Amino acid sequence: MSARVCRTERACSFSHLMISRAALEPEDLLVCDFDGTVLDGAANKKPPREIFIHTEIMRARPDVNSIGHFHPETATMFTLVEDRPLIPVKNHAARWMDGIPVHPDPGHINSVSSGKSLSATLGPHHAALIRAHGVVVTAESVPALLVDSVHFEENAKTLFHAAALGTVRGLSRDEMTSFMERFNRTAHVEKLWKYYLGRGVDEGKVPGEWLPALGVR
C-alpha cells in the first residue's frame, strides 16, 4: 500500500511498504518520487516491483491519497467467469456504485507503461480488478483505504455465497444513493480504524505506543 506524502508539488513523494509486510516497522517505509526513485529510506531497501501501480494512479488522480494492491481470493475469482461481474450487494459497497472496471492484463504492473495502462482502466473509479491477479483500491486516506479494502472483499464473499443460494439482486442505484445520503463516511472510517488497530494491539501485531501517532486516542 502507499500514502501520498505531500500534496502541493508536482513531484509529490509518497511512502511505500516493502519486504515482509507482516513484520513492517516505521524504518522500513520508503519515500519515493513518481518515477519510483527512492528519496528517503534505508539505502539497502528497494521499493516493490509493482510500485508503478501507485505512482501512475497518484500521478493521474489528485483526489487519491492512498492506494492498496492485494490479491484476495474471492474478489479475484470474479475476473475468471463470464456473466458474473463483481457488483455491489452489501450496503457499504455503494462506494463502488459507479462500477468496478476489470483490467485485462494479468501480468505484474512493473513498468511505467503497465502502470499507465492500469490507471487508464481505473479511470475515475474507486477500485479496479486485475484479471487473474488481484485488486486495486483507492481512497482519500490510509484509514479509509483499510476500511474500503475490508468492505471490498466482504462484498465479493457475500455475492459469491448469495449466488449459490439463488438469483442475486444487486443493490439498485436508488438504494445505493439513499444509503450514501445517510452515511457518515468520516465517522465510519474513524470507528473501524480504531477497531482494527485495537485488534492489532490485542494480537500483538501493533505496538500500543503507536496508537497516538496513528490518530487513535
Judged by CB under 5 A, the number of residues near Zn ion is 1
Is residue 154 within 8 A of residue 90, CB to CB? The reply is yes
Is residue 41 within 8 A of residue 30, CB to CB? The reply is yes
Q: Which lies closer to Zn ion via its Cβ, residue 3 or residue 53?
A: 53
CB of 118 to Zn ion, least distance (A): 10
HSE value, Cβ hemisphere, 13 Å, CA-based, for 104 = 1
Provide the grid cell at 201.
Answer: 494491539
CB of 69 to Zn ion, least distance (A): 6
Amino acid occupying residue 126: H
Residues 97-136 close enough to bind Zn ion by CB under 5 A? 134
What character string, x for contact with Zn ion (CB under 5 A) and - otherwise, covers 132-161?
Answer: --x---------------------------
CB of 165 to Zn ion, least distance (A): 31
Q: Which lies closer to Zn ion via its Cβ, residue 41 or residue 134?
A: 134
Is residue 210 within 8 A of residue 217, CB to CB? The reply is no
7 secondary structure, DSSP code: S
Select the residue whose beta carbon is closest to Zn ion and give its number: 134
CB of 22 to Zn ion, least distance (A): 17
Helix (H, G, I), strand (E, B) or coil at 99: coil
Provide the binding-site residues for Zn ion, judged by CB under 5 A: 134
